[in-house]
Structure 1
Amino acid sequence: MTMISVVTLPLMWTLLIISCIGEKYVDLSHDISEESFHWPSVGPFSRRTVARGYTKEGYWNEHYSFCMHEQTSTHLDAPCHYAEGKWFVHEIPLNHLMGPGVIIDIRDKVADDPNYELSPDDFMSWLDVHGPLPDGAILFIRTGWSSKYKNIEEYFGMDTTNISHFNFPGLSVGAAQLIVSHEAAFGRRVFAVGTDAPSIDHGPSVDFRACETLFGANIYGIQAVTNLENLPTKGFHVLVLPMKIRGGCGAPARVLASLPETNGVPDSSPVAFSGLILQSFVLLILNGIKSSLA
């Protein structure tokens, strides 16, 4: 085998490995339409056709105007929503709109109590298993409630527009306090808390104290997400893209998650691990060739 072949073969293996490593993307957002989630006390999304058809000049022209509440469909709640003097939507720093994602799954608790609140014990148990939250974490509470999204009465757990009759899970004040104090305890800050339910606070709440606790520390909320079942407990990255509404207390948002995968398999799998071993082996070969040529 020629020296060129000896050098080229490992390089080809390395390029092959790199080409197999990509990103899996998961859309955590619901569509925005006339059927979208909205609080029963406010109007739904509405759209008016401005133009749709061919113009006299011969080109196609289609556009609409729309009206909707800030908290429509999948949306961001800015800290100012429940904490005076805290960030509006346009003031949230860009680096706080992206970060490592984690999921705390409470579906088993919700099955027995639709108004269940993620408790301090739930939060501490998660830390015992998975360790401290990563710095800049975007934490999602998985309740399984997104499966009810298309039926507003099931999603809010009610048969009336009286908000005192809401029934859906959320976050307890005690757990919210632990999330806020996570930075002091571990030196790692939480940027946002999201849920697949209508609100961070559970349905029966009348004072929204969990939101008030988080927002007072400039930790924003993300409501009505979906597709959390397509993500691992941790090891993924989140990008939150709200409409940049100046002075907004909330905004509809496109929320995206990404995680590395090798050949269509998440990087936590044995296949990905084997790929890393092979990559290391190739690097050792290249180093050996370099030494022999010296």
Structure 2
Amino acid sequence: MSARAPEHRLWSAHRDLIETAVRTDLTHPFRSGQPHFPGFGDERRETVFSLEGGDGFTVHRYTLVGQWGTHVDPPSHFVAGARTLDRIPVEEMILPLVVLDVADRVRTDPDTTPTLDDVRSWERRNGRVPAGSFVALRTGWSRRWPDPVAMTNRDEDGVSHTPGWSAEVLRYLFEEVDATAIGHEQSDTDPGIAGSAGDCALEAYVLGRDRWQIELMTNLDRLPEAGALIVATWPRPLGGSGFPARAFALHHP
């Protein structure tokens, strides 16, 4: 009679996750014509081989900038000599996921930024923001994707009105909590008014502290504000300063 097979703990954990957890994609599919920074060219996609054309397989050639669609910004995006994509370890790619929600205020004030009161309120309900966590700012802005006019939301003077982070909240997350990374639905860390004035101080602060971020996230409204995990992945170009990312959340219904 054969001995009973050993229980593999990770396989058991995976089975439990599959049976009990919801998996929510936090990534926009990217394509030509989507919103992008004006200084970037549009994506070009060429068919190199095609099943329809009689080839034995289909292959596309993609030409795009690293900061394209839902993407990761490593520290080297703003800081010379800082960590590049290939130097961010896999240990930082599975993290507790905190969702800081200011979407209700954004509906009436697109220039909304989070406050320490928002964080304290979250902590009263859920306990202290975990060290090593990924903190996502939910603004509802992803509903505007992929309309470039709606995403930038410029007034008659050309000033962009979009939500963003605040210095006080970022300082708390990185200097007191020791969060690992942040993410947001809009295209920039800094609110649109600041970006229109050429002010990227908040993004410079995040990357200058050797942290990374994911921009242009989606589906944050489907997540609980606490208790989820994020799995954030991307290719590993040597010396890479940014790349489209694939991120998803694991959470209970």
User: What TM-score do you get using the length of structure 2 for normalisation?
Assistant: 0.85
Measured in 1, the distance between the counterparts of 2:240 and 2:155 equals 30
Letter in 2 for 1:131: G
Change (3 A) 1:74 1:99: same
What is the aligned length?
Answer: 235
Give the alignment partner of residue 144 of structure 1, picking from 136, 140, 145. Answer: 140
The 8 Å contact of residues 54 and 60 in structure 1, kept in 2 or not, is answered as no
Determine the structure 2 residue equivalent to 1:128. 124
Q: How far apart are the structure 2 equivalents of 1:112 and 1:199?
A: 20
| CA deviation map 1:99-152 (0-9, x unaligned) | 010100001221222122222332233223322112321110000000001201
Structure that is richer in helix per residue: 1
Secondary structure (helix, strand or coil) at the match of 1:139 reads: strand
2:33 maps to which residue? 35
Change in Cα spacing, 1:50 to 1:175, as seen in structure 2 (3 Å) is same
Q: Select which of 84, 92, 99 maps to 2:95.
A: 99
SS state at 2:172 partner: helix
Q: Which amino acid aligns with 1:125?
A: S
* 1:176 and 2:165 are equivalent in the alignment: no
Deviation >3 Å, runs of 4+: 18-21
What is the deviation of 1:19? 10
Deviation, 1:20, is: 9.1
* Residues 146-204 of structure 1, C-alpha deviations (whole Å, 9 max, x = no match): 000120110111379x9x62221000112111111124xxxxx3111000111111112
Q: Name 1:69's counterpart in structure 2.
A: 65
Aligned to 1:244: 236
1:228 to 196, 205, 220: 220
Structure 1 residue 245, shift from structure 2 partner: 2.0
**Deviation at 1:54?**
6.2
Shift of 1:222: 0.7
Q: Partners in 2 of 1:95 and 1:254 — Cα distance?
A: 16
Please show how residues 51-70 of structure 1 align to structure 2 within 5 Å. 51-53=49-51, 60-70=56-66
2:180 partner SS: strand
Structure 1 length-normalised TM: 0.74
Q: Give the secondary-structure state (helix, strand or coil) at the position aligned to 1:118.
A: coil
User: Judging changes above 3 Å, is the alpha-carbon distance between structure 1 residues 132 and 48 closer, same or farther for their aligned structure 2 residues?
Assistant: same
Given residue 184 of structure 2, which amino acid in structure 1 is its aligned partner? T
Q: What is the CA deviation profile of residues 190-247 of structure 1, one whole-angstrom value per residue up to 9, with x for unaligned ones?
A: 1110001111111122221211222222221110011111111111111111121222
In the other structure, the counterpart of 1:190 is 179
Write the letter of the residue equivalent to 1:29.
T
List gaps (5 residues or longer) in structure 2.
Answer: 1-15
Counterpart of 1:232, as a letter, is P
What runs of 5+ residues in structure 1 fail to find an aligned partner? 1-17, 184-188, 261-265, 267-294
Task: Decide which of 85, 89, 103 is 1:89's aligned counterpart.
Answer: 85
- Aligned partner letter, 2:152: F
* Residues 200 and 211, structure 1, Cα contact 8 Å, conserved in 2: yes
Residue in 1 aligned with 2:4? Answer: none
> Distance between the aligned counterparts of 1:19 and 1:110, measured in 2?
34
CA RMSD of aligned residues (A): 2.3
Letter paired with 2:90: L
Of 41-50 and 80-89, deviating more is: 80-89
Counterparts of 1:177 and 1:67 in 2: how far apart (Å)? 36
